[in-house]
Structure 1
Amino acid sequence: MTTAIDLFAGLGGWSTGARNAGVDVLWAANHWPVAVEWHSANHPETQHVCQDLHQAQWEKVPPHDLLLASPCCQGHSKARGKKSGNPQHDSSRSTAWAVVSALEFHRPEAGLVENVEEFTDWALYPAWVAAVQALGYQVAPHVVDCADLGVPQHRVRLFLVLTRSKAPLMLELHRRQHVPAASFLNFDAGRWSPIEKPGRAQATLDRVRNGRQSFGERFIMPYYGKGSGLTGRDINRPIGTITTLDRWALVDGDRMRMLSAGEALAAQSFPADTLRPDNHRLTMHMAGNAVPPLAGQRIIEALKAAS
């Protein structure tokens, strides 16, 4: 298993993981020009196409051993508060059918599909699995916390392993030691502001107070949302899930700042030399949507070992 294609390629999480696992990514596609631009910058050896994969011309895609795909997850994720009948969410969920089309044309040895856990709650998920099986593939769902693969972030995701085997192939994913957020946080850099300042929300001040009681003077906390919202998180454990928006704040004594884009990429296990937009919001959006490269690498290595 030496060659792959990357569907819905963004900043290059799957592709970087594949490269580190000894797999050449021959072709990558996304409908968003910005995603194609930055994937091209980080993977110049890969052939790139900017198109809606519903209209993909699969005959122009080079033969490959492995299909990598991360169909749009927004229509499935709880974080988006989806509602039944939302046309935008219905459209995003339908992107998963491009995986079936690609498999039907090229019949690669295997496929790896990443998404949120709620993907299996999709009304058409049984039909999607049936279509994949009709093409001769077994479907093995793996729910994985990427922190268990060495990524310094708790990020639970669904990885579907598609193989042309007699039975679903469950990978042997060795649990790695957790890597703390402190490994990538830089308390000597960034734009800090006083915690006690006019206009600071009381909810934020309450979180800071609770965090200090639990973790001392240095910790991380979500600036909004639930989860660790009441107490924050110890920097000696992995950070929580990196999202497409600014969510995580660092507290250091009487000052605080938001997580930088560089730190978000490090939390996702992207290499330090990853090329990215200068725009902070755009980089955060792309980072939050990405497959952590190290998680991708570990899963591809496990698949190769089992094949």
Structure 2
Amino acid sequence: MTTAVDMFAGLGGWSTGARDAGVEVLWAANHWPEAVKWHEANHPQTQHVCQDLHQARWELVPSHDLLLASPCCQGHSRARGKGNGNPQHDSSRSTAWAVVSALEFHRPDGGVLENVPEFTQWALYPAWVAAVEALGYQVAPHVVDCADLGVPQHRVRLFLVLTRSRAPLMLQLHRYQHVPAASFLDFNAGKWSPIVRPGRAVATIERVRNARKRFGDQFIMPYYGAGSGLTGRDINRPIGTITTRDRWALVRGDEMRMVSANEALAAQSFGANTLRPNNHKLTMHMAGNAVPPLAGRRVIEAFLEAA
């Protein structure tokens, strides 16, 4: 059986996808105790470590065939990058160098990294690639909308495929039929409130009005943020990107509510049996940072098929 380790494991999107692809995840690490707690709850057979991976003792990490990693993306993301006040050389970007250290010590057959597409625009990206190549790996970037892999969410992400091969390995990723948001949204559940009420933003009411003209009395829409859209979204298409904050609202007639934590996990393709905090904010944070397990599975399956 193929074995793997999961760096920056979070809630376990990579680990769940790997397990579903028939890969045994031997070891997982994250610097946040709460994330490690819930990853361990969902993957009790995996060895867990809570630490800053810059300080990892790689000799204590089991040998493995495949390295899976999602280095911190906040310093690269449009949502929380330089334009939002982060320093140009945000220290979070340096987490990618821990991947180089892990590769150098264990020299696995290959690896797959997930991040935002802006990762390749990082000033140090060419140096990072050069370091990986110096260790004998080829780097093949794939920019993928996870909706094309069957995830019920439009989520464009970068997957970097690392192989010990003569040329970069471009995966043959099959395109799946899009799964609608209606597959996981429950308009008969949850706590609803009137759309028109004291304190409701004028922009929100205007967004509802615009969306109702297009989609009738039942739809979803972005709730906050400049540039988040002036209308809603048809529930018969995938939802937009799930973030670490409450972003998406359901509208039903003259009422609305925010997407629930369980719905956000479903939008990310986590199973209904996924163990999670009994805390909406924490769960949303973990869900928004996660690799969609189904996307992870599809990428890993394509990697194993091509290897």
TM bucket normalised to smaller: over 0.9
Q: In the alignment, what sits opposite 1:12?
A: 12
- Indicate if the aligned counterparts of 1:74 and 1:89 stay in contact, CA closer than 8 A: no
Displacement after TM superposition at 1:88 (Å):
9.3
Identity %: 83
**Amino acid corresponding to residue 190 of structure 1 in structure 2:** G
Q: In the alignment, what sits opposite 1:72?
A: 72
Q: In the alignment, what sits opposite 1:202?
A: 202
- Aligned in 2, Cα 1:194/1:146: closer, same or farther, shift over 3 Å? same
Summarize the alignment of residues 109-124 of structure 1 with structure 2, pairs less than 5 Å apart.
109-124=109-124
Displacement after TM superposition at 1:140 (Å):
0.1
Summarize the alignment of residues 8-87 of structure 1 with structure 2, pairs less than 5 Å apart.
8-82=8-82, 86=86
Q: In the alignment, what sits opposite 2:182?
A: 182
Q: In the alignment, what sits opposite 1:256?
A: 256
Q: In the alignment, what sits opposite 1:296?
A: 296
Summarize the alignment of residues 133-212 of structure 1 with structure 2, pairs less than 5 Å apart.
133-212=133-212
User: TM-score, normalised to structure 1's length?
Assistant: 0.98
- Indicate if the aligned counterparts of 2:74 and 2:81 stay in contact, CA closer than 8 A: no
Displacement after TM superposition at 1:111 (Å):
0.3
Could you tell me how far apart the structure 1 residues matched to 2:20 and 2:88 are?
Answer: 35
Could you tell me how far apart the structure 2 residues matched to 1:179 and 1:238 are?
Answer: 6
Displacement after TM superposition at 1:237 (Å):
0.0
3-state SS of the aligned residue for 2:49? strand
**Amino acid corresponding to residue 91 of structure 2 in structure 1:** S
Over residues 30-81 of structure 1, what are the superposed CA-to-partner deviations in whole Å (9 max), with x where a residue is unaligned?
Answer: 1111111010000000000011100100000000000000000000001014
**Amino acid corresponding to residue 82 of structure 1 in structure 2:** K
Q: In the alignment, what sits opposite 2:94?
A: 94
User: TM-score, normalised to structure 2's length?
Assistant: 0.98
Poorly superposed stretches of 4+, deviation over 6 Å: none
Displacement after TM superposition at 1:119 (Å):
0.3
RMSD: 1.4
The number of aligned residues is 307
Unmatched tracts of structure 2, length 5 or more:
none
Could you tell me how far apart the structure 2 residues matched to 1:285 and 1:300 are?
Answer: 25
Could you tell me how far apart the structure 1 residues matched to 2:306 and 2:226 are?
Answer: 39
